[in-house]
Structure 1
């Protein structure tokens, strides 16, 4: 099913394996696990320009939402006029309601490669060597259902903290911009715990790293610049 990813995954495997071997003398017990975290962070850093473009698109859409709602109320019985008015609004503002969607979609192939690399027992028809290594005695290829232990419980605890922070952020966002399905959106971050219960430990480490990165990235990119008022003389 994922055979078309074999070439990029093989390349990624070579990079991860070489780097793990390079740092092994210093971090032997956790060299591969640490490499998974660092490799995921590097990929997310390379994708930062796409994330920044997506945030700019989201902010542009947010600024247009009040005017869009006004147009929807004004032309609610005339879809043709509504479409024309929305097109004029986007043209005058120089943005689009789809701005930011393409950068987000462009990230999907990278995430597919990383997930394929850390979650499947074979790569290009050969055993995946990453899953043979261990983290504090637990194989990176182990699943929670067959190897429940301190490492998995620690992973779930960290994922739960990240999910809770993400949910809180989503709740604040929805308070400013109410939308249908807000309750479901606040629960979605906790889906990582369910996923982590059925994928190898290596994939769980990837999930923890990428969700933590997303949380921090979101907080930094979406924060509003501080407005400094002149001090009266």
Structure 2
């Protein structure tokens, strides 16, 4: 099943299409042939602005993880010879703090339909039963429905096309590097779940998120590679959204005090 035939997603795509075409017409006197590409950038900024609460949730979740990190490390040290007990104590800690290892993940999942709808503008040749006019526009003479890989395969790669894609890919890669260096949290490692205890204990196992966090930290670099395969309009979108995400997180980290040193807590975790 084509996800873009699913009614809620289809309606979101059609709404986004109306916005971007209206923006294109509005920007045409200012940007001329580049109005559609500029409209994509403006639409992306508008969408990301609406999703700022998701960023706030992620930053607050990161602050909570940072605050709990010493307690988690203490529990891991204290009960390293008793994995089942350690996992139980970690679960109790998260419960006491009214949080979880997955705090901030649900809002991220909630935003996916919106981002999926925006991306649908760049890969669907028809929207609402008529041709997707957005993809017929150009940026520096390159149609917004073309891609670097397609041009390369057809032997139509020009110096202009190479320069445009090089700028986009380098921008995404540079932003990814800064994001990984400045924003990737140091997640405390949680030992892997042990084999079932002989005493029949069924204490819930804590998920090991260290490998997941390390993998996610490299995802922005994959975005740079992905930009070579998608339509040019989508590559512009990816460059805009990754740049916005970095700027947003830096601002939110400062406003919410994510980089402030955590106060020393005299209360130690108990058995």
Asked if the contact 1:156/1:193 (under 8 Å) is kept, the reply is: no
Quick one: which of 146, 158, 164 aligns to 1:154?
A: 164
| Superposed displacement of residue 105, structure 1 | 1.2
| Superposed displacement of residue 81, structure 1 | 2.6
Change (3 A) 1:51 1:181: closer
| Superposed displacement of residue 30, structure 1 | 1.1
How does the TM-score come out when normalised to structure 2?
0.73
| Superposed displacement of residue 172, structure 1 | 5.1
| Superposed displacement of residue 91, structure 1 | 3.4
1:14 has 2:24 as partner: no
Change (3 A) 1:216 1:152: farther
Distance 1:226 1:73 in 2: 25
| Structure 2: gaps of 5 or more residues | 189-209, 261-271
1:209 has 2:240 as partner: yes
Distance 1:181 1:18 in 2: 40
Q: Report Cα offsets for 1:188-232 as digits up to 9, x if no partner.
A: 3222232111111111111111011111112222244898xxxxx
Distance 1:191 1:141 in 2: 21
Q: Report Cα offsets for 1:45-101 as digits up to 9, x if no partner.
A: 000011111110111012212211222233344454334312332233343322211
How does the TM-score come out when normalised to structure 1?
0.84
Asked if the contact 2:168/2:236 (under 8 Å) is kept, the reply is: no
Bigger radius of gyration among the two: 2
In the TM superposition, 1:63-212 aligns within 5 A as 63-144=67-148, 145-146=150-151, 147-149=156-158, 150-171=160-181, 179-180=210-211, 187-212=218-243
**Higher helix proportion (structure 1 or 2):** 1
Aligned length: 227
- Greater mean deviation of Cα atoms: 143-152 or 182-191: 182-191
Match of 1:35 in 2: 39
Aligned-pair RMSD on alpha carbons? 2.7
| Structure 1: gaps of 5 or more residues | 228-233
Asked if the contact 2:184/2:217 (under 8 Å) is kept, the reply is: no
| Superposed displacement of residue 186, structure 1 | 5.4
